Structures are given as C-alpha cells and as structure tokens.
C-alpha cells in the first residue's frame, strides 16, 4: 500500500503518519520527491485495506499496490482458468455457446428450440425458471416446474443447462437441477446470494451489473471464490448508457481488460447488451474478436409469443447463420467450440 501525502505536508505531520502506521503493526518507508512525499507500507495486505489510513492527518490518497481481488487476479493465477460445465469446457481456448429462450416455457417449445440450437452448434442450454422482472405484474417464471422442464430438455439433447438464481433460499433447489448457476445483473452485488452460490460445487455465471465497473465485477467474483468455489465465468452484458438506440451500452473493451486483469473466463451477452436482433451478430463477433470465451444469445422459435424478452431473441435460422460466422472467427483465433 502507498500513502500519498498532501502537498506542503510538514515534518511534524510526516512523523505523525509514520507513528500511526507503525502503531498499527506495519512497516513504513518514507520517500521524498520534488513535488510529492510518499510512504510505502509493508504488512498484511488484508489489514492495510481495512485500516483507516486515509483518515490520518496529512494523507491525501491511499493507493493499493496489488488489486483487492486477490483470488480473481491474474497475479494470483497467471494461467487462464478452464471451467467445466457438464461436458462443456469454458476458457483456455474453449468457447461456451449458450443459447435458449429468456424464460423456460412449455416442454414442446423448449424441445423445438433445444433441437435447433444443438444442431447449430450450441453447447449449453439456457432458460430462466425464476425471473427478476422490473414490473411485479410481468411473467415471473414457472419456478420448480420450469426447472424440471429445463433439466429434462437438457438431458434429452445432451446439453448442460444454466438458469438464474435470484434468492439465497432457492440456491440448493436450483443446484439440484442446473449444471450452472447464473447471477443476473440485478443481483451482481447481492452479497448474501454470492456467498451462498460460493458454497456450492456448481459453476457460476456472473453477469456484470448495469452500473458496475470492471473492478466491481471482479470484486463480486472474489466473494464467490473466497467461499471455495473456483468455478466462475464472467459475463459482459452491457451497462447503462445515455443513448436510447440500444437497450444498454455494449462495453466490448471490458472483455479485453478483464483478460488482462483476471484468469477467469469471460463471455458476452449481446442480446441483453443491445436488445436488438439486428445488432446481435455484429456484437457477438466483436466480443469474440476482443477475446471472449463464449457468447450468450437468446433464441426463440416465435418471439411474438415469448413470455419474456421476445423482441431481443433471434430466430433459430438466424442463430444458425450466426453460429457459422462465429465458428469461422473462432478458427482464425485458434479457439474451438466444443461439441
């Protein structure tokens, strides 16, 4: 940790800062520059983060030397992590192609959609059984019945399944059915929920919050990792922007940044990022080009009848065409879409 002292700091204040730092059990190293005086602190990094260093008289700023997300950082784990979701590998050159409807619907429809996406090359089936909706009057999902439908469909087509968990009380129930637990954007900083999924043995898909920084996302991943669950896949799904032309602002640069900062795989979700089927293909390909470890896309065979988010879903034939393009990009990048 580095303390940057205020401009014009007196010797008396410097001595006081050093005294306070040492009284907390840390070693202090003074360095005087032409314009700034700084004090380096050596000691238990976890303790330095919680110590009230900024409150000491004469201190202008406190800068960490290492990122606060120790377990998620690339310093702690230089090699890319590869997460196993059922029979599908994610990361390390293996791409997760997640597809399916926003909400789990009747078995016949789920069967048609799963059949089409599997034929196109998708390797994970998605569908929400519990839906956090902006309006309390909107469709909230089929609950446990939806989980049963999703599980049966995934088994029929030999596809691992991912579904969202919205309540800590439902973690055990959903873990009984799903191969992967999704934490949605609205719950990214639900720390109780993060702790609960961190105590499971299931892989976790953690979506970036609508107003969250990349650092916020990695700190939330740290909550899960700190509980002993190392199987975390991050997801860039767009953040709040000022332009109403798209549902969210697709931050493709975040993908490249995360690949530098963390060993965890990261995928992109252009469906939620744009809310527009006509923009999904370009954003999906851009995400892969930026280094994403997979693409999450909503697919529905009749969007006008979808129980939720129909306007942003691709038709099966559109998804098939996009999959051919994504496979071509993957080949150029020396990555593979696991069958």
pLDDT of residue 122: 97
Residue corresponding to tokens 């900062």: 261
Tokens of 140: 């909230």
Token reading at 119: 């034929």
* The pLDDT value given to residue 64: 76
Share of the chain above pLDDT 70, in %: 97
**Residue 296 and residue 97: Cα distance in Å, rounded?**
6
Quick one: which H or E segment has residue 145? helix 144-156
Domains, the chain, in order of start with CATH, read 2-63 (3.30.70.1140), 83-337 (3.20.20.70)
Q: 5-9, long-range: CB within 8 Å, 24+ apart, which pairs? A: 5/36, 5/37, 5/38, 5/39, 5/58, 5/59, 5/60, 6/58, 6/59, 6/60, 7/35, 7/36, 7/60, 9/37, 9/58
Nearest partner of 272 among 72, 123, 134, 89, judged by Cα: 134
DSSP state of 137: T
Per 3-state DSSP, what percentage of the chain is helix, strand, and coil (rounded to 5)?
A: 40, 20, 40
pLDDT of residue 242: 93
State pTM to two decimals: 0.85
Per residue, what are the HEC states of 210-248?
A: CCCCHHHHHHHHHHHHHCCCCCEEEEECCECCCCCCCCC
pLDDT tens, residue order, the chain (339 aa): 788 898 888 899 999 999 988 888 888 888 877 678 888 887 776 676 667 888 888 888 888 777 888 899 998 788 999 999 999 999 999 999 999 999 999 999 999 999 999 999 999 999 999 977 667 767 777 899 999 999 999 999 999 999 999 999 999 999 999 999 999 999 999 999 999 999 999 999 999 999 999 999 999 999 999 999 999 999 999 999 999 999 999 999 999 999 999 999 999 999 999 999 999 999 999 999 999 999 999 999 999 998 888 899 999 999 999 999 999 999 999 999 876
pLDDT of residue 46: 66
pLDDT score for 137: 65
Query: Which pLDDT value is given to residue 183?
Result: 97
């Amino acid at each position: 940790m580095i303390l940057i002292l205020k401009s014009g700091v007196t010797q008396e204040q410097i001595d006081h800062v050093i005294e306070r730092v040492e009284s907390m059990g840390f070693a202090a190293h003074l360095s005087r520059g032409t314009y700034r005086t700084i004090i380096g602190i050596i000691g238990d990094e976890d303790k330095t983060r919680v110590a009230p260093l900024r409150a000491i008289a004469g201190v202008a700023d406190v800068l960490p030397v290492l990122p606060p997300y120790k377990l998620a950082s690339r310093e702690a784990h230089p090699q890319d992590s590869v997460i196993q979701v059922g029979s599908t590998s994610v990361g390390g050159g293996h791409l997760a192609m997640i597809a399916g409807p926003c909400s789990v619907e009747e078995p016949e429809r789920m069967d048609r959609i799963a059949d089409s996406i599997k034929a196109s090359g998708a390797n994970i089936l998605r569908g929400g059984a519990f839906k956090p909706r902006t309006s309390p009057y909107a469709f909230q999902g089929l609950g446990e019945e939806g989980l049963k439908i999703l599980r049966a469909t995934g088994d029929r087509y030999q596809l691992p399944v991912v579904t969202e968990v919205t309540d800590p009380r439902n973690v055990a129930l959903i873990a009984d059915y799903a191969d992967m637990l999704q934490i949605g954007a609205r719950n990214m900083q639900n720390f109780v929920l993060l702790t609960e999924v961190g105590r499971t043995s299931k892989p976790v898909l953690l979506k970036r919050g609508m107003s969250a920084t990349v650092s916020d996302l990695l700190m939330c991943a740290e909550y899960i990792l700190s509980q002993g669950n190392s199987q975390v896949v991050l997801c860039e799904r767009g953040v709040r922007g000022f332009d109403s032309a798209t549902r969210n602002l697709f931050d493709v640069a975040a993908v490249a940044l995360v690949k530098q900062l963390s060993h965890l795989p990261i995928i992109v979700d252009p469906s939620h990022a744009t809310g527009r089927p006509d923009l999904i293909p370009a954003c999906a390909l851009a995400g892969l080009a930026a280094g994403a470890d997979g693409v999450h896309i909503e697919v529905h065979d009749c969007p006008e009848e979808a129980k939720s988010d129909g306007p942003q879903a691709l038709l099966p034939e559109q998804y098939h065409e996009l999959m051919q393009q994504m496979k071509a990009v993957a080949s150029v990048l020396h990555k593979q879409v696991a069958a």
